[in-house]
Amino acid sequence: MRDFISEFLDAKSIEKGASLNTLAAYKRDLVEFSKITEGKEYEKIDNKDISDYLNILNESDNSPRTISRKISCIREFFKFLISERIISSNPTNNIHNPKLNKGLPLFLTHQEIKKICDTASSDKSFSVNRIGVMVKLMYSSGLRVSELVSLTENSINIEQQQILIHGKGNKERVVPINKEVIKEVLEYLEYRKEFIGNRKNNWLFPSQTSLAGHITRDGFFKGLKKVAVNAGISPSKVFPHVLRHSFATYLVNKKADLRSIQKMLGHENIATTEIYTHISTQKLVDEVTQKHPLSRKKGKA
């Protein structure tokens, strides 16, 4: 059983270029599934077993998105077993993922992000200064958090004002950054020199406690929350990914070319980028609802 899972993960890594985070999620889901099916041989697993698994997921109060991800993982795994001729039929056939409500991405206003950056800049400690620079880089370039934490020191071309990003599936893209952020990075590099001292570390955002040698996603998440609280912004609305959404939303509101935004975000499909146009539309709806005289309640006209 473990061998099959390992082979599946190897195939996803080598053939599809799956990220370490994706592979870790696949492994968790497959180990969970194998425990629930009590080690039943894969060729004996049928549609009823998958249905029972789906019922267990529903009864455990998993969100529709989580259930959808787990079912998709199991489906991909059995497709792999068929391709390797380990089984002859796919027990996930006729099993449908739950319908997902496509909510609009959350985003912060430019003023809120400025508050976070100003608060971080006013703190002279390396850890907080590092968070501030990471926020500016993410907001000015639309980086994914996994891409941000794994930037190397030479990822940024100071002269060309560009960042070389290694994105999903080991695909590279180049994103421009403005002079203000370049200036912030140069100042931060002086803090970084003092922090690493004589130690060898080529990560742009090094860490002394992380096994990876750089700040982790969780480390950035927690640091960002703390700075948000100090800036007077509710931590409940501040997440690393919100900075990426804020970048895209700001450009859409400024009428930037959608194809250009797609390239900067590293989206394969333009439809993924188009969701940010819906944010702008929703903003217009809210404006009309709040300010148009026919939308006001009686007595408030």
SS3 88: coil
Among 144, 192, 214, 245, the one annotated catalytic: 144
Q: Residue 135 CA to chain centroid, in angstroms? A: 14
CA atoms within 13 A on the CB side of 124: 1
Active site residue 42: no
Closest residue by Cα to residue 136 from 180, 186, 166, 196? 180
Q: Is the dihedral of CA 253, 258, 264, 270 positive or negative?
A: positive
Active site residue 168: yes
Among 12, 70, 244, 245, the one annotated catalytic: 244
Among 70, 115, 136, 267, the one annotated catalytic: 267
Active site residue 222: no
SS3 33: helix
SS3 172: strand
Active site residue 276: yes
Could you tell me if 50 and 95 are in contact, meaning their C-beta atoms sit under 8 angstroms apart?
A: yes
Active site residue 244: yes
Instruction: Please enumerate in sequence order all residues whose Cβ is within 8 A of that of 207, keeping only pairs 6 or more positions apart, or say none.
Output: 213, 214, 215, 216, 219
Question: How far is 268 from 264, CA to CA, in rounded Å?
Answer: 11
Among 241, 259, 283, 296, the one annotated catalytic: 241
Question: How far is 23 from 77, CA to CA, in rounded Å?
Answer: 12
Active site residue 191: no
Among 168, 173, 225, 226, the one annotated catalytic: 168
Annotated catalytic residues are 144, 168, 241, 244, 267, 276
